């Protein structure tokens, strides 16, 4: 595994730990008690309670900036780790050498230790005086033990000093740009809140409800007869939606079992969106809901954003606003969220990973230019859909759709993906093109 992969994996861990600590006020087991960055993260959150309680967006801004800082710091830590590994290898070579080899290496070892360590860390002069005595093996064992301990302590102290020097600069920078980041992000997000179309897309892609307006209940393919304690449930034929408490399904009442999901139950009750057993009718022992394709309730999300020049301006802001909301859902629910940007070139990145948080900010800051690349977009989306991580994902294409219809080969691959449960959605901005209409499960216009 490369240093970059190790750093990215570590950032993923810290990103999850950030959310875990805000929710439970304790660190997950993956973060050791002596982890320097973990301790600093706790300190930052504890010193900024208003940032993580008043508005979730503040927590996101803080998290993004902190993870960006950690990523830069871990790159410097990687150099320290390389030096530590080289030193430990030298120690092990000396430890495993024969007595004659140790004698030949002795002068070099003495010079190296004197150059790197104080006499209080490794008293090499004391060991030299005892060398050639009767207990050389014991002398060498004690020396290598002290040497290794000093080596590890040096690395730990170096990392501690790096963090101490850098954290003040980061904190000052965050105070200067945090408000600005928050305001800019809020402006973009407000576009979704003010647009019924975008809000509906967030609900559907987030799988709070299905594209036809009902709750996406594809996970409930079969329901045993008689789950309801009410007599009306004796002949269950299907599931409907409302707020009749006596007919509510057990899966919905489970929401009342934890504080985290209780609010969702009452929200669904107020909107008459609770799953409930319908009116009595003759029914088999198990009834299949008329949704033939099983899909995960909180599956992955693929967002393809047209970054060609025709999307510049208001369309660009709408696309970015919608993307922010979908990424927020993905991160909160630990779902993969893949961004594909397409114009002349295709770029793709998994925004669900904490290590890629800064990539979202970079995307939000860029301006749209170039031409279209619709076929490349489909090829990349289909490649993801055929992978283990993104099977049965929802695909949302945000574009003006001013391009040619897809070719036959890609159309057939899309149909195959749809037959397995994938849904292709489109948000069409500022045009009346029908290039992809036959391919999409649903399209919105804005």
Which CA distances in Å does 95 have to 64, 87, 141, 150, 230?
A: 45, 12, 7, 15, 77
Which CA distances in Å does 62 have to 56, 59, 179, 241, 444?
A: 10, 5, 10, 39, 33
Rounded to whole angstroms, the Cα distance separating 74 from 147 reads 25
Residue 362: pLDDT over 80: no
- Taking residues 205-219, what's their average pLDDT? 47
Task: Specify whether the CB–CB gap between 155 and 80 falls below 8 A.
Answer: yes
Average pLDDT, rounded, for the chain? 77
Rounded to whole angstroms, the Cα distance separating 51 from 280 reads 51
Model pLDDT, residue 80: 94
Rounded to whole angstroms, the Cα distance separating 309 from 368 reads 5
Which CA distances in Å does 323 have to 7, 191, 207, 242, 329?
A: 25, 11, 15, 30, 10
Query: Percentage of residues in the chain with pLDDT exceeding 70?
Result: 73
Model pLDDT, residue 57: 78
> Which residues fall within 8 angstroms of residue 358, CB to CB, at 6 or more apart?
64, 67, 68, 71
Model pLDDT, residue 93: 93
Tokens 């022992």 appear where?
Answer: 285
Residue 286: pLDDT over 50: no
How many residues in the chain?
Answer: 446
pLDDT, tens only, 240-256? 677 777 677 766 676 77
Query: In the structure encoding, which two tokens stand for residue 197, read together?
Result: 């179309």
Model pLDDT, residue 365: 65
Model pLDDT, residue 358: 66
Tokens 């307006």 appear where?
Answer: 213
Rounded to whole angstroms, the Cα distance separating 366 from 320 reads 10
Model pLDDT, residue 401: 85
> Which residues fall within 8 angstroms of residue 131, CB to CB, at 6 or more apart?
106, 139
Band (223; pLDDT cuts 50, 70, 90): very low
Query: In the structure encoding, which two tokens stand for residue 150, read together?
Result: 């000093």
Which CA distances in Å does 288 have to 224, 298, 340?
A: 10, 21, 36
Model pLDDT, residue 226: 34
Mean pLDDT check: name the lowest of 145-159, 333-347, 351-365: 351-365
pLDDT, tens only, 319-334? 888 888 888 777 777 7
Model pLDDT, residue 259: 64
Residue 132: pLDDT over 90: no
Band (345; pLDDT cuts 50, 70, 90): low
Mean pLDDT check: name the lowest of 55-64, 156-165, 169-178, 354-363: 354-363
Residue 214: pLDDT over 50: no
Band (86; pLDDT cuts 50, 70, 90): very high
Model pLDDT, residue 138: 82
Band (113; pLDDT cuts 50, 70, 90): very high
Rounded to whole angstroms, the Cα distance separating 438 from 441 reads 8
Q: What are phi and psi of 303, to 5 degrees?
A: -115, 120
The residue with greater pLDDT, 435 or 372, is 435
Band (231; pLDDT cuts 50, 70, 90): very low
Band (264; pLDDT cuts 50, 70, 90): confident
């Amino acid at each position: 595994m490369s240093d970059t992969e190790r750093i990215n994996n570590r950032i993923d861990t810290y990103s999850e730990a950030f959310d875990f600590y805000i929710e439970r006020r304790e660190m997950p087991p993956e973060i050791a008690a002596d982890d320097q960055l973990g301790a600093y993260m706790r300190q930052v959150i504890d010193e900024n309670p208003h940032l993580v309680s008043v508005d979730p967006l503040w927590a996101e801004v803080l998290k993004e900036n902190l993870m960006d800082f950690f990523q830069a710091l871990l790159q410097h830590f990687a150099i320290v780790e390389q030096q530590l590994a080289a030193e430990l290898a030298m120690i092990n070579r000396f430890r495993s050498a024969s007595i004659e080899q140790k004698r030949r290496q002795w002068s070099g070892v003495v010079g190296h230790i004197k150059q790197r360590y104080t006499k209080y860390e490794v008293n090499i002069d004391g060991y030299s005086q005892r060398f050639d005595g009767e207990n050389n093996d014991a002398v060498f064992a004690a020396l290598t033990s002290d040497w290794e301990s000093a080596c590890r302590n040096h690395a730990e102290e170096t990392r501690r000093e790096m963090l101490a020097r850098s954290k003040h600069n980061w904190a000052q920078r965050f105070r200067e740009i945090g408000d600005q980041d928050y305001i800019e992000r809020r402006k973009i997000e407000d576009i979704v809140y003010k647009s019924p179309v975008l809000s509906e897309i967030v609900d559907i892609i987030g799988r709070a409800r299905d594209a036809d307006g009902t709750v996406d209940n594809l996970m409930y393919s079969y329901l045993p007869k008689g789950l309801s304690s009410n007599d009306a449930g004796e002949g269950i034929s299907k599931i409907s939606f409302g707020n009749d408490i006596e007919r509510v399904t057990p899966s919905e009442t489970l929401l009342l079992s934890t504080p985290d999901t209780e609010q969702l139950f009452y929200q669904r009750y107020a909107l008459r969106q609770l799953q409930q057993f319908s009116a009595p009718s003759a029914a088999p022992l198990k009834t299949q809901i008329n949704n033939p394709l099983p899909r995960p309730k909180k599956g992955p999300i693929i967002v393809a954003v047209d970054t060609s020049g025709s999307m510049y301006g208001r369309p660009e802001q709408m696309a970015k606003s919608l993307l922010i909301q979908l990424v927020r859902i993905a991160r909160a629910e630990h779902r993969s969220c893949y961004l594909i940007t397409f114009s002349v070139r295709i770029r793709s990145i998994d925004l669900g990973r904490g290590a890629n948080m800064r990539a979202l900010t970079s995307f939000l800051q860029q301006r749209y230019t170039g031409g279209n690349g619709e076929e490349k977009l489909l090829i990349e989306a289909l490649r993801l859909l055929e992978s283990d991580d993104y099977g049965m994902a929802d695909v949302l294409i945000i574009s003006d759709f001013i391009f040619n219809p897809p070719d036959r080969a890609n159309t057939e691959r899309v149909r195959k993906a749809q037959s397995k449960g994938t849904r292709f959605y489109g948000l069409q901005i500022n045009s009346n093109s029908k290039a992809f209409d036959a391919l999409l499960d649903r399209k919105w216009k804005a």
